[in-house]
Amino acid sequence: MTAFHPTSHKPSEHTQVAESAFDTLYVHANIATMNADFGCTLDSKNNPDNTTTDVAAIPYGQLLDAAIATRAGKIAWIGSSEAAQNLTAEQTFDLQGRWVTPALIDCHTHLVYGGNRSNEFEARLQGVSYSEIAQQGGGILSTVTATRAISAEQLYQQTEPRLRALIGDGVTTIEIKSGYGLDLDNERKMLQVARKLGQDYGVTIKTTYLAAHALPPEYKDNADGYIDAVCEWMPILHAEGLIDAVDAFCENIAFTLEQVTRVFDTATQLGLPIKLHAEQLSNMGGSGLVADFGGLSSDHIEYLSEANVVKMAQAGTVAVLLPAAFYTLHETQRPPIASLRAHGVAMAISTDCNPGTSPCTSLRLAMNMGCTLFALTPEEALAGTTLHAAKALGLQQHKGKIAIGYDADLAIWDIDRPADLSYLMGKPSLFALTSPTLTTPANLFNLPTVWQA
Ligand code: NIG
Ligand code: FE
């Protein structure tokens, strides 16, 4: 890591005016703003109301030799490094030509879980399928057993290295699902651990209630009874402030459209946004259901039909692509990327970090797989972990692009071009990460502690 120290910016001819002073100024940056105002065409899909039509298309909405100023945790000024000479700020960083992007957003994870399923990895390599393992009582249920067996403290400790890996990859906003508790107390335990990790690390955690993930042994042969329980627990956990959104697994090895509809009805009554694991292994039509509910996202979607692509486009539902799960399961059916593109559906990319289908804690690797396996462009991949991932979490007014008034969540990279973020595999390229809330392990320019601690 290059030694790097802030230099105080001393404007010689300018009197410091309190209201124009900024907290932090970054100069000599190359910026992938992902902002339509600077030419990013992918942003116009995110914000159909955006009226800026006279800006020429520029990949990534990039600005060269540019500057960003922040105040009170928000991006407050964007312009050229030259114009920034007239600004005053408490601290100024000369980025020496490094690239700045919105900090990355991992919008679909099962980060909080107990145990390890590398035995299933070995079994699948011998030809046993994911569905067969699930039907034999392994799969999700083996992680349920492991997660139930440990305390909240142990669950926190097992999750922490995964969270640190994501942060070290440039991520400051993470969605974390429950779904390995499958009873009230253990679902609560998972969601509380997710909340505490967010507080302790100062990252933005969005929690998703996924009790409708698998049928627990207590409800064997009584899926409808279990869905009743899922709907009874939801208001209890919501009243405890533990739920930001509601998800379910709609699949022939999980829950039916009718059962998922009941979960969504309850969520809607509580005012909670919904999303769905849909069309991962077969075309159940779950994506159409999410769209009918005006849901945030439909996730996996390898078997998504054209008719439901159209529904998603009309509803503004984000397509969350999970290429690391596709890769791990040796899937061959690709999500309908060309159709999603043609209909203007925003595409996000996420790790889907979980012990079964995606033991992946690198969002950058998921971006690489999105390009190599699904033929996304590197610009789409970056939009998928910034702009469109923000939309998948309902955060599109606050995060995911470099725009005035947006949260100052910034990733600063030692790369030559933005495409390097998708192209390089495994090279730690993050130079610094900042967010108004980031506390532990480190704030700006103190990243080595991400790996040291
Ligand atoms: O997103 N598809 C369902 N849920 C997870 C896998 C969970 C597991 O196998 O533990 C997924 O792929
Ligand atoms: Fe998942």
HEC string of 83-133 equals HHCCCCEEEEEECCCCEEEECEEECCCCCCCCCCCHHHHHHHHCCCCHHHH
| pLDDT computed for residue 432 by the predictor | 87
What value, to the nearest 5°, has the Cα angle with vertex 400 and ends 268 and 5? 140
Alpha carbon of 419 to ligand 1 centroid (Å) = 29
Q: Which of 132, 249, 275 should be mutated for ligand 1, with most atoms under 8 A from CB? A: 249
Say which ligand is closest to the CA of 357: 1
Q: Which residues line ligand 1 (CB under 6 A)?
A: 110, 139-140, 143, 249, 277, 280, 325, 352, 354-357
CATH number for the 105-392 domain, one of 1.10.3210.10, 1.10.3720.10, 3.40.50.970, 3.20.20.140? 3.20.20.140
Q: Are the C-beta atoms of 116 and 145 separated by less than 8 Å?
A: no
pLDDT band at 117, cuts 50/70/90? very high
Please say if the pLDDT value at position 442 is more than 90.
no
| Ligand 1 atom closest to Cα of residue 325 | 12
Please say if the pLDDT value at position 347 is more than 60.
yes
Q: Which of 143, 175, 213, 330 should be mutated for ligand 1, with most atoms under 8 A from CB? A: 213
Tokens 């955006």 locate to 50
- Could you tell me which residue, 143 or 55, shows the higher pLDDT? 143
* Paired sense of beta strands 410-413 and 347-349, if any: unpaired
Say which ligand is closest to the CA of 106: 2
Say which ligand is closest to the CA of 359: 1
Q: What is the tens place of the pLDDT at every residue in 322-337?
A: 999 999 999 999 999 9
Alpha carbon of 357 to ligand 1 centroid (Å) = 6
Please say if the pLDDT value at position 14 is more than 90.
no
Please say if the pLDDT value at position 288 is more than 80.
yes
What's the DSSP call for residue 7?
B
Distance separating alpha carbons of residues 137 and 414, to the nearest angstrom: 46
| pLDDT computed for residue 20 by the predictor | 65
Q: Taking residues 74-100, report their average pLDDT.
A: 95
- Could you tell me which residue, 345 or 3, shows the higher pLDDT? 345
Distance separating alpha carbons of residues 155 and 152, to the nearest angstrom: 5
| Listed residue (436, 429, 294) closest to 368, CA to CA | 429
Residues carrying CATH 3.20.20.140, the chain: 105-392
**Where are the extended beta strands (E) located within 155-292?**
171-177, 204-212, 245-248, 275-278
Record the pTM: 0.93
Give the residue whose CA is nearest to atom 1 of ligand 1. 352
Q: Taking residues 333-347, report their average pLDDT.
A: 98
Alpha carbon of 347 to ligand 1 centroid (Å) = 20
Tokens found for residue 424: 């390089």
Q: What is the tens place of the pLDDT at every residue in 355-367?
A: 999 999 999 999 9
Residues carrying CATH 2.30.40.10, the chain: 18-102+402-452
Q: What is the tens place of the pLDDT at every residue in 119-169?
A: 999 999 999 999 999 888 899 999 999 999 999 999 999 999 999 999 999
Tell me, which fold does domain 18-102+402-452 have in CATH? Urease, subunit C; domain 1 (2.30.40)
| pLDDT computed for residue 437 by the predictor | 83
Q: Which of 277, 297, 302, 351 should be mutated for ligand 1, with most atoms under 8 A from CB? A: 277
Rounded mean pLDDT of the chain? Answer: 91
| Ligand 1 atom closest to Cα of residue 249 | 3
Please say if the pLDDT value at position 12 is more than 50.
no
- Could you tell me which residue, 51 or 373, shows the higher pLDDT? 373
In DSSP terms, which residues pair with 89 in a beta bridge? 22
Say which ligand is closest to the CA of 254: 1
Please say if the pLDDT value at position 441 is more than 60.
no
| Ligand 1 atom closest to Cα of residue 143 | 10
Q: Are the C-beta atoms of 402 and 40 separated by less than 8 Å?
A: no
